[in-house]
């Protein structure tokens, strides 16, 4: 038998603060005892509704305390919880509901999602009727029993369901808790969407160690800054663009409360020295960690160096468990020293296959090893660095170009705060790099001068043939950069330039 993943809620003492919800409607807070009571009540309601049979619950909602309760109650009752991107198009949600064979939908959006069959609006009379106050023992689960199904962002096609087991995710939480001293002392701010691995892992790890969580409905720079100050949060996390937006919003007016932050996780995308400098300015006393993880293989991959060597600012860290990680070079050999290769992972948290996708699963899973398609460089000390996604790589005039490689160079320019690189079609070279950049402090960006500067810093074939200055980088629904939108925009802008030049 394995631990039911909802057991992480037993990590704190009954009277200690577990969860704070901050919305425009006000603030609600819950002790561990109160949170477990709510989880038990909803879990008992699930068992009654489904008669003890297996069930799957979809959540189509913004972040909230109720979302957290649903997440753990479904698992405690023996069901599977399936968080969906509530902002996705209706046709995409129709597909996901069918693909995951959903039995019940819980939503905070009556107009869009509440009209669907088997939908219950959170806060409604039907929602209240689901609850049955009383004790509830967590459902017994085996080593392979599924706790949750998370869907990938679908950046390279239709989203894929990733079934994740109770045992595997509990292992990841336990290992993740070991990476920080005195984890129970932290108050963790969660603004990333709860349908994403990053936010869910932060919540589970915090509860398992007895800390407290502040959850926001979503991310805005002003709301994020206010929450750090109001709730005295000392552990914050975000994707690089969130940190960049926060730095631009605050400018030189950084709240004094930011000095209390002791830990900053930045993850889900590559970043460069400029972002590290901005993060250090915002959070001068925080340890900054480059957090790497995947939905398919779990969030617990890297840790500290076994010899105690400090982790370089841009490194993901040192493999937490050496036998769980390997780098595979282009010729199929394993990278054993300095070098670069595709990251393969095999841990207890790794999925056994995508939902309803046997052929896709077979393409990425070999003898339990998950091929992440992420290109990683290993230095002489064994530290790993994220270079880019193999799926993002494009070929220009016979050269492989990883956008993150170009972005890191651009962000060293004194006039550029943030850069995102995408390919645009080219008659001679098939595709060439184009860059969207955010100017540092409103400084002018001279495109010709930046190109000349870039060529002096790096291989000429990498230099962006087009540079477009924008006020901010657009985010996709997961708070990551919306590269698909930028790729289309770059092609359109480049086409207009060529037409004008002709």
Q: pLDDT tens digit string along 140-198?
A: 999 999 999 999 864 445 789 999 999 999 999 999 898 888 888 999 999 989 998 88
Q: Considering the domain boundaries, does residue 405 fall inside one?
A: yes
Q: Are residues 72 and 197 in the same domain?
A: yes
CATH of the domain at 38: 3.40.50.12780
Q: pLDDT tens digit string along 392-447?
A: 888 888 888 888 889 989 988 989 988 999 999 988 888 999 999 999 877 889 99
Q: Are residues 331 and 440 in the same domain?
A: no
Q: What is the pLDDT of residue 156?
A: 47
Beta pairing, strands 104-107 & 56-60: parallel
pLDDT, greater one: 194 or 298: 194
Kind and range of the H or E run holding 407: helix 403-410
**Quick one: tokens of 127?**
């929602």
Q: What is the pLDDT of residue 313?
A: 85
Q: Considering the domain boundaries, does residue 248 fall inside one?
A: no
Q: Are residues 399 and 385 in the same domain?
A: no
- Residue 164 CA to residue 37 CA, distance in Å, equals 25
Q: Considering the domain boundaries, does residue 266 fall inside one?
A: no
- Residue 339 CA to residue 335 CA, distance in Å, equals 6
What is the distance of C-alpha 160 from the center of its chain?
16
The domain in which residue 338 lies consists of 322-389
Q: What is the pLDDT of residue 371?
A: 96
Closest by Cα among 329, 305, 306 to 316 = 305
**Quick one: tokens of 275?**
């972002």
Q: Are residues 136 and 30 in the same domain?
A: yes
What domain count does the chain have? 3
Q: Are 411 and 417 in contact (CB under 8 A)?
A: yes
Q: What is the 3-state secondary structure (H, E, C) of 224-271?
A: HHHHHHHCCCCEEEECHHHHHHHHHHHCCCCCHHHHHCCEEEEECCCC
Q: Are residues 341 and 444 in the same domain?
A: no
* pLDDT value at 222 more than 80: yes
Q: What is the pLDDT of residue 480?
A: 72
The alpha carbons of the chain give a radius of gyration, in whole angstroms, of 23
Ramachandran class of 332: left when φ > 0, alpha when ψ lies in -120 to 50, beta otherwise: left
Q: What is the pLDDT of residue 350?
A: 96
Q: Considering the domain boundaries, does residue 41 fall inside one?
A: yes
Q: What is the pLDDT of residue 155?
A: 45
Q: Are residues 34 and 174 in the same domain?
A: yes
Q: Considering the domain boundaries, does residue 235 fall inside one?
A: no
Where a domain ends, among 168, 186, 218? 218
Burial class for 258, CB neighbours closer than 10 Å (0-12, 13-18, 19+): buried
* pLDDT value at 272 more than 90: no
Q: How far is CA 285 from CA 123, 257, 259, 262, 282, in A?
A: 40, 11, 6, 6, 9
**Quick one: tokens of 498?**
């060529």
Q: What is the pLDDT of residue 298?
A: 85
Q: What is the pLDDT of residue 351?
A: 96
Query: How would you label 126-158 residue by residue, b for 16+ Cβ within 10 Å and e otherwise?
Result: ebeebbbeeebebbebeeebbbbbbbbbbeeee
CATH of the domain at 399: 3.30.300.30
Q: What is the pLDDT of residue 268?
A: 66
Q: Are 217 and 62 in contact (CB under 8 A)?
A: yes
Q: Are residues 368 and 407 in the same domain?
A: no
Q: Considering the domain boundaries, does residue 336 fall inside one?
A: yes
Q: Are residues 157 and 108 in the same domain?
A: yes
Q: Considering the domain boundaries, does residue 247 fall inside one?
A: no
Q: Are residues 378 and 398 in the same domain?
A: no
Q: Considering the domain boundaries, does residue 309 fall inside one?
A: no
Query: How would you label 170-202 residue by residue, b for 16+ Cβ within 10 Å and e otherwise?
Result: bbbbbbbbebbeebbebbbbbbbbbbbbbbbbb
Cross-strand bridge partners of residue 27:
22
Most confident of 123-137, 259-273, 424-438: 123-137
Q: Are 421 and 403 in contact (CB under 8 A)?
A: yes
Q: pLDDT tens digit string along 300-354?
A: 899 999 999 999 988 999 999 999 999 999 899 999 999 999 999 999 999 999 9
- Residue 382 CA to residue 475 CA, distance in Å, equals 33
Give the relative orientation of helices 197-209 and 166-177 as an angle to the nearest 10 degrees: 70
Ramachandran class of 154: left when φ > 0, alpha when ψ lies in -120 to 50, beta otherwise: left
Q: Are residues 203 and 58 in the same domain?
A: yes
Q: pLDDT tens digit string along 21-78?
A: 999 889 999 999 999 999 999 999 999 999 989 999 999 999 999 999 999 999 999 9
CATH of the domain at 352: 2.30.38.10
Q: Are residues 482 and 458 in the same domain?
A: yes
Where a domain ends, among 368, 389, 410? 389
Portion of the chain with pLDDT greater than 90, in percent: 67
């Amino acid at each position: 038998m394995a631990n039911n993943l909802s057991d992480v809620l037993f990590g704190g003492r009954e009277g200690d603060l577990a969860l704070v919800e901050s919305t425009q409607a006000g603030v609600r807070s819950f002790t561990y005892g109160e949170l477990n009571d709510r989880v038990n009540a909803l879990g008992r309601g699930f068992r009654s509704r489904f008669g003890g049979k297996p069930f799957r619950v979809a959540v189509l909602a913004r972040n909230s305390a109720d979302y957290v309760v649903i997440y753990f109650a479904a698992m405690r009752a023996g069901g599977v919880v399936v968080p969906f991107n509530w902002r996705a198009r209706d046709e995409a949600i129709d597909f996901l509901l069918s693909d995951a064979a959903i039995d019940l939908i819980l939503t905070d959006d009556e107009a869009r999602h509440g009209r669907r069959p088997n939908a219950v609006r959170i806060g409604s009379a039907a929602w209240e009727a689901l609850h049955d106050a009383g004790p509830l023992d967590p459902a017994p689960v085996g080593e392979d029993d599924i706790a949750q199904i998370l869907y990938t962002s679908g950046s390279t096609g239709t989203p894929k369901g990733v079934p994740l087991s109770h045992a595997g995710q509990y292992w990841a939480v336990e290992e993740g808790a070991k990476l920080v001293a005195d984890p129970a002392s932290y108050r963790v701010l969660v603004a990333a969407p709860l349908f994403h691995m990053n936010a869910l892992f932060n919540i589970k790890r915090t509860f398992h160690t007895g800390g407290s969580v502040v959850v926001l409905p979503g991310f805005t720079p002003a709301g994020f800054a206010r929450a750090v100050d109001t709730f005295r949060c000392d552990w914050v996390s975000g994707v690089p663009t969130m940190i960049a937006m926060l730095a631009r919003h605050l400018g030189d007016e950084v709240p004094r409360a930011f000095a209390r932050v002791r830990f900053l996780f930045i993850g889900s995308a590559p970043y460069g020295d400029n972002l590290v400098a901005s993060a250090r300015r915002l959070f001068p006393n925080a340890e900054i960690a480059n957090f790497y993880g995947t939905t398919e293989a779990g969030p617990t991959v890297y840790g500290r160096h076994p010899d105690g060597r400090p982790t370089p600012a841009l490194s993901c860290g040192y493999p937490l468990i050496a036998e769980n990680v390997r780098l595979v070079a282009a010729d199929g050999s394993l990278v054993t020293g300095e070098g670069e290769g595709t990251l393969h992972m095999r841990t207890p948290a790794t999925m056994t296959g995508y939902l309803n996708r046997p052929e896709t699963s077979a393409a990425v899973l070999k003898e339990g090893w998950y091929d992440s398609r992420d290109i990683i460089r290993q230095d002489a000390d064994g530290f790993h660095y994220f270079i880019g996604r193999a799926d993002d790589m494009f070929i220009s005039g016979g050269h492989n170009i990883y956008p993150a490689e170009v972005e890191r160079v651009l962000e060293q320019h004194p006039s550029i705060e943030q850069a995102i690189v995408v390919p645009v079609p080219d008659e001679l070279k098939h595709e060439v790099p184009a860059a969207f950049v955010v100017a540092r402090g409103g400084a002018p960006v001279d495109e010709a001068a930046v190109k000349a500067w870039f060529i002096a810093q790096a291989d000429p074939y990498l230099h962006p043939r087009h540079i477009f200055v924008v006020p901010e980088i657009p985010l996709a629904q997961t708070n990551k950069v919306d590269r698909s939108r930028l790729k289309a925009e770059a092609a359109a802008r480049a086409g207009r330039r060529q037409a004008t030049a002709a």
